[in-house]
Structure 1
Amino acid sequence: METTELHYQISSVLVVFVLTLVVSFLIQNIIRRRRMPPGPWGFPIIGHLPLIGDSPFKTFKDMAGQYGDIFMIKMGSWPTVVLNSKESIREAYLTQQNNFVDRPEFFSFKTMQDHRSLAFGKFNKIHRKIANNVLRSFANVKSSTTEEIIQTEAISLSKVLVSSTNPHE
């Protein structure tokens, strides 16, 4: 009699614990979704990855018809904001820069954390800001176009890289 009562108490505690976890998870998701752009509910863990299909641009266009030009999906477990019009991209780039510069901490980003480039590492915000300022100042040069300047710089950079990897040249 005592063992069945003990099992009943343990199972009751476990059920209450699991229900508390599920309810707190749902409340947390509802609160978080209020602050985010609208979007469809995704699958746990895998998010919307199976729904995107072979042509994401068509899927995103269909979703934009339902949720608007700015909506949120989940790429795996990471929430991702999709900007689906030229106007929304322009507004995000010009007026909301600080909200759109972070990257999720994917495995590839964690492994490249010490690599300092525009795409990877903890200094990517600073590097992008510097690169934007430099490109903006290059764009103000009257004598040649930005594309020509970038091509010239890319050629000189590739020459430096080749000479540093091949010491006989």
Structure 2
Amino acid sequence: MNIELIKGDITKIQADAIVNAANSSLLGGGGVDGAIHRAGGKQILDECIEIRNKQGKCNTGEAVVTTAGNLPAQYVIHTVGPVWNGDEGKCFPLLENCYKNSLKLAESLGIKTIAFPNISTGVYRFPKEAAGKIAVETVKNFRSDTVGKIIFVCFDDENEAIYRELLENNNKI
């Protein structure tokens, strides 16, 4: 599996799917969630409302999919990251599930390229180093005959530096 690191705007990434760090309402919000909804247009929100009407909110660690509206991707996979409360025993597995469930959903859709933001590291205050380690380890341990390329899209310098170091150190093992 090929893993890339990009500093930039996930709404501009050419990939089969991009992952949205959504909130449980699926109705958009701040940060990457708001950016994806704004750039993707009303179609994404309409599909999120349909999902909510069928299943209710999206639980932390789970993932659902919509089309990508006006984005250059084909799909948006919405996953709800944990709000950091200092409870590693609860928050770490929930964040890991965000990546695992997004990848499983991507695989079921035949997606070859998927782009991830830094889930939960913004307003949800998950420690960036811990979140990066969980993301990189989970992606590296995922086995797929379908998903061939994973892109980590970092919006800020701090996350980019953390991911670069994690990926470089991980490749030395």
Query: Is the shorter-chain TM-score for this pair beyond 0.5, marking a shared fold?
Result: no
Structure 1 length-normalised TM:
0.26
Structure 2 length-normalised TM:
0.26
| Larger relative contact order, structure 1 or 2 (CA cutoff 8 Å, min sep 6) | 2
**Bigger fraction of residues in helix:** 1
**Bigger fraction of residues in strand:** 2
Which protein has the larger Cα radius of gyration, Structure 1 or Structure 2?
1
